[in-house]
Amino acid sequence: MSSLSVHFAVILTLYYLLIFLIGIFGLRKTRTQEDFLTAGRSIGPWVGGAVLAATQISAGTLVGTVGRHYATGVSWVWVWPGLWCGWLISAVFVGPKLREFGAVTIPDYLAARFNSQAVRVLSAIFIILGYMILLVAQYQACGVIFQAIFGIRPIYAMTLLIVSTLVYTILGGIRSSSYIDFLQILIVTCGLLLAVPVLIYHFGGLQLAGRYLASLDARLTGSWYDWKQIFGYSLAFGLAIASAPYEMVRFYSMRDKATVRYAIGVGFLFQAIIGGSVLIIGVMTRAIFPYLQHGDQASSVMAMNVLPPIAGSLFIVAMISAIMSNVNSILLVVSAGVSHDLYAKMINPQATEKRRLLFNRLSIVVLSVLPVWFGCNATPMSNPS
């Protein structure tokens, strides 16, 4: 085994052990379906903010956005202000109202708002279908990472991802997920911050890298996109952040409206650090490896060939943890749609809490397996956020 493989195996094992212990803690605190889906509404601002950031910082960020900067240079960074505007809209208008309402799921809120169970069913179905597609992208990204670094077939990487994420998702629901997301966002931030100075030093400085990138293509250090494209992307991502169900349901687990606002501020801070780091990593990797076959390979190739073994292993674990966080959030949202909004509210309203909790956990298992075939057969991804 290479030095990177050994360090990676040790760090990943320790990481999995820690999230398993947090999952056991969550299991001991979970007695009802509402506990499973809202953590007893006990999450504070720092953990809540980390959860919001970890939910949004996914495979698309550490693989797709790094790849986007690798392919198109610095101008993609102007998409981030659109995301942050979405956070501000969420902080002022969306989050506090949802938390004050005190529902368990987004379809709960919509059903009450429009006084219609048909709205509950339709919104639950749309959420399930939409996020199952997003789940395919996360599986695919995991396959890309392991295949690029270790030559492992994507199906084995996806199996590892599913099993490891299922363990803590099934055990403790939102409570385990929240504390593990806090751990994950710290790992992601540390991994990125370790990579940035190493890359700059490896090439000989930002100015030298800038001149070299301009010689490859002037648009890499200038404007690859026109203002209409940037505005369109920013608007799309900003609206998505302001109204994404897998972000909004996290508000239900927080203590009160003030906690929601503080948590969004904490999430904004993490995203600013991560966005700047991802920009530098993408363009510096282009300077060091200018002719990769696909931009999605940039993160993996950089971690394997430039970073020291410990830092490279931490960076790879950061990528995996970001994917796990996103998969966990998606599974909780879609399983809530199946178990809470369709089963408990429409099919079997008299179901006991024990049966509802069991159905929730079973639906997570089933829904986690369904997208595997699509993840194995999809073309290489390059999601921008």
pLDDT at 62: 83
Helix axes 45-56, 309-336, angle to 10 degrees: 90
Nearest to 383 by CA among 55, 33, 60: 60
- pLDDT of 2 strictly over 70: no
Show Cβ contacts of residue 122 under 8 Å, excluding neighbours closer than 6 positions: none
Q: What is the dihedral of CA 183, 185, 188, 190, to 10 degrees?
A: -70
Most confident stretch, 239-253, 273-287, 288-302 = 273-287
pLDDT at 176: 87
- Give per-residue pLDDT as tens, 207-243: 999 999 999 999 999 989 888 999 998 888 888 777 7
Instruction: Determine the Cα–Cα distance for residues 385 and 381; give it in Å rounded to an integer.
Output: 12
- Give per-residue pLDDT as tens, 120-158: 999 889 888 888 888 888 888 788 777 767 778 888 888
pLDDT at 133: 83
- DSSP H helices, 43-153, are 45-56, 59, 66-72, 80-89, 95-101, 106-114, 117-150
Return the number of other C-beta atoms located less than 10 Å from residue 376's C-beta.
15
Beta bridge partners of 43: 254
SS3 254: strand
pLDDT at 59: 65
Buried/exposed code over 154-182 (b: 16+ C-beta within 10 A; e: otherwise): beebbebbbebbbbbbbbbbbbbbbbbbb
Res. 1 pLDDT band, cuts 50 70 90: very low
pLDDT at 10: 86
Res. 316 pLDDT band, cuts 50 70 90: confident
Res. 57 pLDDT band, cuts 50 70 90: confident
Q: Mean pLDDT across the chain, nearest whole number?
A: 85
For residue 369, the surrounding DSSP H or E stretch is: helix 353-369
Q: Answer yes or no: are the C-beta atoms of 110 and 120 closer than 8 Å.
A: yes
